[in-house]
Chains A and B, each alone.
Chain A
């Protein structure tokens, strides 16, 4: 195999020396991602690939920036209670609500020259709240029960609830009323008729720094600067986004010059990126940003073995998450102790932590009545073996690797863990949502900064047959103190008071251990040395929201 390595080295020199033509025309940037959007309609079917591309051709009203602060993009000033643009009020039926006023950027203009106005906002709201429009996040539009038009550029949204994040409307993606209104005349057919799919290259659909000029379904999208763009002019004359599903092929395309960079949002797995970094540090910048993707193992608390807190603690003590993070992920994916990311301002560092301590695990298990049997696995008084089924999404290589490590480490303390994986859509579609898993389910939660884990921890959100399996509390975790905290945090507008509540929440979480926290996933951005300005966000909102800052390093 020495030969292969030498061949690879020779290859590299060859490739490097062969790359010169690419430097000549550096007006174009080719980005590789692993997925192609299923639709270009911004509010139908949320998909990372679409968000990635859409952020270059349009902008949301508000979003979280790279420091995880809520900022205005299409609006001119972030409305707050302090600056008077947001006013708490009561709804007609006496509920606590709030009125929030936004003003659209004065020069915001659709690509075909029509101004972006309040009309578009009202139209978007109408589409969003219609039962048949096919919009996924209908809850946002439903909670806005009224819109007041103040002027062409200003409007007030009336919400029927008051939460601390009242001013964030990140998913309120504007639709062009002048093009889409006709298509919406028959709402049931809208999802098939929308110009975003029938006429995706129509300039009037977008108002961002770029416009789509070419699209080949399943293959690639070409973007070129939008003359009507109101912000900082973008630097590249052309951006091509290519979808290459196989990550090995994606890497080969990068090395052969077929693409210039690999997006972190939809790119290489972390171990692939680390291996890539070892070989190509000189030519590429590899940025890692641990983010709000919380990898963990849900424990089914209806499993009698798992009901015992000592067993849950022993499970965590028995696994060496630190070493996994270091050896497998080069330390790029920090170990999680609760669901709150260390980068989040509400993070509490002083929660109980369960380090790698197999002896402690053994002690706990002994105390819980699980003594070591002859087969190398622990058994209880009734002769039952201490065993669980560990499930995750089939085909996710990283998870499968971690799973096999954990299995091996649990075996060392006498816990028999059997691996059973399912395709993602079954795993999420039935196994977790209908709580059919019997022991452990390993997956990740995606969230935004200061996201309240209400649907995953509140006892009202345990999916059961009687509530038609709504809610995401798959562990069936019940703790009245937690329920109360979740409700109070949501409506607590005072930051310092909220921080105290958040700390309590994390302590209870770490003490009760309804899940085994594993680590926060990091995205790896592979960028050519000549590119600057790409700033990973670490949350679900793409780096491309700031694509106009991307430029060629002088």
Chain B
């Protein structure tokens, strides 16, 4: 077990280091640089001025040299400055990470809370009317363009009914009190949740159907246990094992969802930060926040693997079926 943990940690570190270079290189392949962005908004900027600033920010050096320079700093704990916010990158990332953790955490829990029961219900009687209705609902959630869903929610609940704020955070409005603060999270969480129920519910359904076919379930049924008892006492635990893995693998998608949602709701979290950093050619910020997102995903996968081996020692590796 310990050996497994260490080897995975080592592998993850390797992935992170390779990733950091790959992202840095890709960012370097993006056209223009931060100074070009400054030029577009400053009518007084001369070409000489731009060249001077490029030298000052070290942008005139080749990308590999810049990367090594960054890596040198990173090893000593200096991850560089964000150009977009003129602060050390972690000072920018921490608050955003906190905001995103609230957003993603709540929507993750709510989505699971809805998706798992739906998946189980659908699995009890496959191809029944109930199964079809659930199917329709969960597929609708994953088939609607996410930004469109968000704008629809804003239009309905903020503009038309006027009961929920259209975006931002409670701090921006100076609101206090738990409900006042929570209000700002309702729509972003709702749009994130609706988009992720589908996947979870489908995994749950598939896994439950699979489990219900097993011999031990038949035995349990033969013993005269009711359907509810069979599912809660026998099937659920087994069915949840593969679901855990698949959901953990989906961790990376959470950031993708957060990116769109946070951008529309002007919610200052990691997703919006990553997007702004990439679009603003903020190399350091984009790099570190992307690595952070990757790290969290790896961590999620790792925990899922640990949980998986622990729950089910017979199996060495996750099934490919996703």
Contact between chain A and chain B defined by CB under 8 Å: yes
Contacts of A3-39 to chain B: CB distance below 8 A: 7-8, 10-11, 14-15, 18-19, 28, 30, 38-39
In the complex the two chains form, what is the Cα distance from A393 to B51 in whole Å?
23
Chain B 28-69 interface mask (CB, 8 Å, partner A; 1/0): 000111001111111111111101110010000000000000
Which one of A48, A192, A255, A468 lies within 8 Å of B41 (CB-CB)? A48
A219 touches B47 (CB 8 A): no
With a cutoff of 8 Å between Cβ atoms, the chain B residues found around residue A252 in the complex are 151, 154-155, 158-159, 166-167
Which one of A131, A214, A248 lies within 8 Å of B151 (CB-CB)? A248
On chain A, the number of residues with a Cβ less than 8 Å from chain B's Cβ atoms is: 75
Chain B 156-177 interface mask (CB, 8 Å, partner A; 1/0): 0011111011111101111000
Contacts of B162-200 to chain A: CB distance below 8 A: 162, 164-169, 171-174
- Cβ-based interface call for A256 (8 A): yes
Which one of A246, A258, A424 lies within 8 Å of B40 (CB-CB)? A424
Give the most central of A10, A428, A430: most B CB within 10 Å. A428
Which one of B38, B171, B281 lies within 8 Å of A216 (CB-CB)? B171
In the complex the two chains form, what is the Cα distance from A433 to B264 in whole Å?
33
With a cutoff of 8 Å between Cβ atoms, the chain B residues found around residue A47 in the complex are 41-42
Contacts of A215-265 to chain B: CB distance below 8 A: 216-220, 222, 238, 240, 242-246, 248-249, 252-253, 255-258
Look across to chain A and name the residue whose beta carbon is closest to the beta carbon of B37. Answer: A425
Chain A 101-133 interface mask (CB, 8 Å, partner B; 1/0): 000000000000000000000000000000110
Give the most central of B92, B171, B266, B268: most A CB within 10 Å. B266
B42 touches A218 (CB 8 A): no
Give the most central of A10, A139, A196: most B CB within 10 Å. A139
Contacts of A402-426 to chain B: CB distance below 8 A: 422-426
With a cutoff of 8 Å between Cβ atoms, the chain A residues found around residue B37 in the complex are 424-425
With a cutoff of 8 Å between Cβ atoms, the chain A residues found around residue B174 in the complex are 28, 222, 238, 240
Contacts of A465-516 to chain B: CB distance below 8 A: 468-471
B47 touches A139 (CB 8 A): no
B172 touches A45 (CB 8 A): no
With a cutoff of 8 Å between Cβ atoms, the chain B residues found around residue A322 in the complex are none
Stretch from B15-23, B80-88, B103-111, B130-138 forming part of the interface with A: B80-88
A46 touches B31 (CB 8 A): no
With a cutoff of 8 Å between Cβ atoms, the chain A residues found around residue B24 in the complex are none
In the complex the two chains form, what is the Cα distance from A171 to B49 in whole Å?
15
Which one of A134, A137, A217 lies within 8 Å of B95 (CB-CB)? A217
Chain B contact residues (Cβ within 8 angstroms of A): what range?
35 or more
A470 touches B268 (CB 8 A): no
With a cutoff of 8 Å between Cβ atoms, the chain A residues found around residue B96 in the complex are 217-218
- Cβ-based interface call for B205 (8 A): no
- Cβ-based interface call for B265 (8 A): yes
Given contacts A137-B49, A218-B85, A246-B264, are A426 and B32 in contact (CB under 8 A)? yes
Chain B 89-113 interface mask (CB, 8 Å, partner A; 1/0): 0001001100000000000000000
B82 CB to nearest chain A CB (Å): 9
Which one of B43, B83, B166, B169 lies within 8 Å of A256 (CB-CB)? B166
- Cβ-based interface call for A446 (8 A): yes
Give the most central of B49, B86, B280: most A CB within 10 Å. B86
A429 touches B160 (CB 8 A): no
- Cβ-based interface call for A360 (8 A): no
Which one of B41, B265, B273 lies within 8 Å of A46 (CB-CB)? B41
A217 touches B268 (CB 8 A): yes
With a cutoff of 8 Å between Cβ atoms, the chain B residues found around residue A18 in the complex are 162
With a cutoff of 8 Å between Cβ atoms, the chain B residues found around residue A30 in the complex are 173
B32 touches A430 (CB 8 A): yes
In the complex the two chains form, what is the Cα distance from A38 to B83 in whole Å?
7
With a cutoff of 8 Å between Cβ atoms, the chain B residues found around residue A48 in the complex are 41
B43 touches A446 (CB 8 A): yes
Which one of B38, B48, B83, B167 lies within 8 Å of A253 (CB-CB)? B167
With a cutoff of 8 Å between Cβ atoms, the chain A residues found around residue B202 in the complex are none
In the complex the two chains form, what is the Cα distance from A39 to B81 in whole Å?
12
- Cβ-based interface call for A540 (8 A): yes
- Cβ-based interface call for B276 (8 A): yes
In the complex the two chains form, what is the Cα distance from A190 to B171 in whole Å?
31
With a cutoff of 8 Å between Cβ atoms, the chain A residues found around residue B84 in the complex are 38
With a cutoff of 8 Å between Cβ atoms, the chain B residues found around residue A258 in the complex are 158, 165-168, 173
With a cutoff of 8 Å between Cβ atoms, the chain B residues found around residue A132 in the complex are 56
A11 touches B81 (CB 8 A): no
A8 touches B160 (CB 8 A): yes
Give the most central of B96, B159, B165: most A CB within 10 Å. B159
B40 touches A425 (CB 8 A): yes
A46 touches B45 (CB 8 A): yes
A138 touches B31 (CB 8 A): no
- Cβ-based interface call for A136 (8 A): yes
With a cutoff of 8 Å between Cβ atoms, the chain A residues found around residue B39 in the complex are 428-429, 433
With a cutoff of 8 Å between Cβ atoms, the chain B residues found around residue A540 in the complex are 43
Look across to chain A and name the residue whose beta carbon is closest to the beta carbon of B41. Answer: A47
A243 touches B162 (CB 8 A): no
With a cutoff of 8 Å between Cβ atoms, the chain B residues found around residue A218 in the complex are 85, 92, 96, 268, 272-273, 276
- Cβ-based interface call for B263 (8 A): yes
In the complex the two chains form, what is the Cα distance from A1 to B44 in whole Å?
49
A52 CB to nearest chain B CB (Å): 12
A430 CB to nearest chain B CB (Å): 7
Look across to chain A and name the residue whose beta carbon is closest to the beta carbon of B46. Answer: A139
- Cβ-based interface call for A463 (8 A): yes
In the complex the two chains form, what is the Cα distance from A445 to B281 in whole Å?
23
- Cβ-based interface call for A191 (8 A): yes
B161 touches A469 (CB 8 A): no
In the complex the two chains form, what is the Cα distance from A424 to B30 in whole Å?
12
B167 touches A136 (CB 8 A): no
Which one of A15, A45, A424 lies within 8 Å of B159 (CB-CB)? A15
Given contacts A46-B42, A423-B31, A425-B31, are A14 and B49 in contact (CB under 8 A)? no
A242 touches B266 (CB 8 A): yes
B157 CB to nearest chain A CB (Å): 9
B171 touches A423 (CB 8 A): no
| A-B contacts besides A217-B96, A249-B154, A256-B154, 19 pairs, CB < 8 Å | A38-B85, A38-B280, A214-B171, A216-B95, A218-B268, A218-B272, A218-B276, A240-B174, A244-B168, A244-B266, A249-B166, A252-B158, A253-B165, A423-B32, A425-B37, A429-B36, A433-B47, A468-B47, A469-B47
3 nearest interchain CB pairs?
Answer: A429-B36, A425-B32, A470-B47
16 A-B pairs (CB sep. < 8 Å): A11-B161, A14-B160, A45-B42, A136-B44, A217-B95, A218-B272, A219-B268, A249-B151, A249-B166, A252-B166, A253-B167, A256-B159, A258-B168, A422-B31, A429-B36, A469-B47
